[in-house]
């Protein structure tokens, strides 16, 4: 367990910063006593070669549970960088400050003129419920929390324009809808001292997303965090082209990759509608914001919905929230029912705007790409700022 802040000589709080030299720290180790601000047991000041200087408990105690994660060297370095950053932008910073009321210890507690924030730099994967619990804990004491993820190590920053990336289930929990950059995850990479933004996220299937990736050095960062500019018209067209390409490839390979045989719902739906997967109209397999909460490919759940509507003799204009709620319970595998309802509602709106007629055989439906591109820009890219 690595810690940066200790009680020095039972008098003052002491945080190790990057500008302290080895010699200064060696001297301090000889002349001062350090204890853990929370459990009050002695701490050892460790000045090694592998990990940056830090404190460690001499006796194992249970005060470690107040931290959001068992710390790694990367986490420790990131915490130090961020402490310097928040100080530079004019905040009062407490590293590893303990909040007794909720028994939590955020990585940083920062205060600007108006507000106090808990900053968590998350390097390890922890259960999503733990993040929700800790966020709720901070809210109980009226402190909003900002979770900053460590940049995944496999990200290629050389790619220009729009990239195809993989985001793990754990990362999905950190997607925020921001005014200009849409669905966005902000990460920090201590090895390069850069904030890496994954913005305008468009879900494809499973862990695959399209994203605009941008880097911002910690020296250029501001607080509140800088936002990525609204994407350009050209970039929107690039998104669409890449998306359509991925959709076509998925549908083309779908028959071969089926492992369910005759019980495959999607292929059965295609067969009953006398349409090959690759010939489905473009509005089936259409990108919808937050669709990662539904555990099926866009084309699969959208075709299923349309087939069910026809079975129930329902028009796209007759769909109610109640009907969709029960539809989710019986027909969809989802990770989050509330978000799934907004996703399905949004898709139904697209169908309504297209005047989709569920009684027309699917094989005879034609919707031009230019009309869908306009919807794509509206729904996915341009105005994703409700949260």
Please give the radius of gyration of the chain, using alpha carbons only, rounded to the nearest integer: 25
Q: How far apart are CA 79 and CA 291, in angstroms?
A: 33
Which region, judged by CB under 5 A, interacts with Zn ion, from 37-45, 162-170, 185-193, 226-234? 37-45
16: closest CA among 64, 68, 84? 84
**CB neighbours of 19 closer than 8 A, spacing ≥ 6?**
none
Nearer to Zn ion, 96 or 189 (CB): 96
Nearest-5° Cα angle at 201, 196 to 205: 125
Q: How far is the CB of 71 from Zn ion (least distance, A)?
A: 13
Q: How far is the CB of 30 from Zn ion (least distance, A)?
A: 22
List the end-to-end C-alpha distance of the chain, in Å, as a whole number. 36
306: closest CA among 284, 325, 338, 278? 284
Which region, judged by CB under 5 A, interacts with Zn ion, from 57-65, 167-175, 276-284, 355-363? 57-65
Nearer to Zn ion, 38 or 199 (CB): 38
Interface pick for Zn ion out of 7, 28, 39, 230 (rule CB under 5 A) = 39
Which SS3 state, helix, strand or coil, does residue 312 take?
Answer: coil
Residue 100's Cβ-count burial label (10 Å; 0-12, 13-18, 19+) is: exposed
Could you say whether residue 63 binds Zn ion (CB under 5 A)?
Answer: yes
Which region, judged by CB under 5 A, interacts with Zn ion, from 35-43, 136-144, 150-158, 255-263? 35-43
Which region, judged by CB under 5 A, interacts with Zn ion, from 26-34, 38-46, 233-241, 284-292? 38-46
- Here the tokens at position 35 are 């204890």
Interface pick for Zn ion out of 4, 6, 16, 36 (rule CB under 5 A) = 36
> Which residue lies nearest Zn ion, judged by its C-beta?
36
Number of residues that bind Zn ion (CB under 5 A): 5
DSSP 151: P
Nearer to Zn ion, 39 or 155 (CB): 39
* Contact set with Zn ion (CB under 5 A): 36, 38-39, 61, 63
């Amino acid at each position: 367990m690595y810690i940066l802040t200790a009680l020095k000589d039972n008098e003052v709080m002491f945080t190790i910063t990057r500008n302290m030299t080895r010699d200064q720290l060696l001297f301090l180790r000889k002349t001062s006593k350090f204890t853990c601000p929370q459990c009050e047991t002695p701490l050892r000041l460790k000045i090694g070669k592998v990990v940056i200087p830090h404190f460690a408990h001499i006796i194992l105690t249970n005060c470690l549970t107040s931290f959001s994660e068992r710390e790694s060297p990367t986490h420790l370095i990131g915490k130090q960088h961020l402490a310097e950053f928040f100080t530079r932008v004019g905040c009062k910073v407490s590293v590893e400050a303990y909040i007794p009321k909720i028994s939590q210890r955020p990585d940083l507690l920062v205060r600007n003129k108006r507000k106090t924030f808990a900053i968590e730099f998350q390097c390890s994967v922890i259960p999503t419920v733990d993040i929700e619990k800790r966020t709720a804990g901070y809210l109980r004491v009226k402190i909003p929390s900002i979770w900053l993820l460590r940049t995944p190590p496999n990200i290629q920053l050389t790619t220009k324009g729009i990239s195809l990336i993989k985001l793990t289930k754990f990362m999905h929990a950190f997607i925020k809808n921001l005014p200009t950059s849409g669905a966005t995850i902000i990460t920090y990479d201590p090895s390069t001292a850069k904030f890496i933004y994954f913005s305008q996220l468009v879900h494809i299937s499973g862990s695959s997303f399209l994203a605009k990736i941008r880097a911002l050095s910690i020296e250029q960062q501001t607080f509140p965090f800088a936002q990525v500019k609204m994407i350009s018209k050209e970039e929107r067209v690039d998104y669409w082209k890449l998306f359509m390409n991925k959709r076509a490839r998925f549908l083309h390979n779908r028959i071969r990759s089926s492992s369910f045989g005759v019980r495959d719902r999607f292929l059965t739906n295609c067969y009953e509608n006398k349409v090959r997967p690759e010939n489905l109209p473009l509005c089936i397999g259409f990108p919808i914001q937050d669709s990662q909460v539904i555990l099926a490919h866009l084309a699969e759940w959208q075709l299923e919905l349309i087939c069910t509507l026809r079975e129930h003799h329902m028009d796209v204009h007759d769909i109610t929230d109640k009907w969709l709620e029960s539809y989710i319970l019986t027909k969809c595998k989802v990770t989050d029912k509330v978000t799934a309802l907004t996703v399905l509602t949004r898709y139904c709106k697209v169908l309504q705007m297209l005047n989709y007629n569920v009684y027309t055989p699917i094989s005879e439906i034609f919707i031009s790409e230019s009309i869908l591109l306009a919807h794509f820009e509206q729904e996915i890219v341009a105005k994703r700022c409700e949260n």
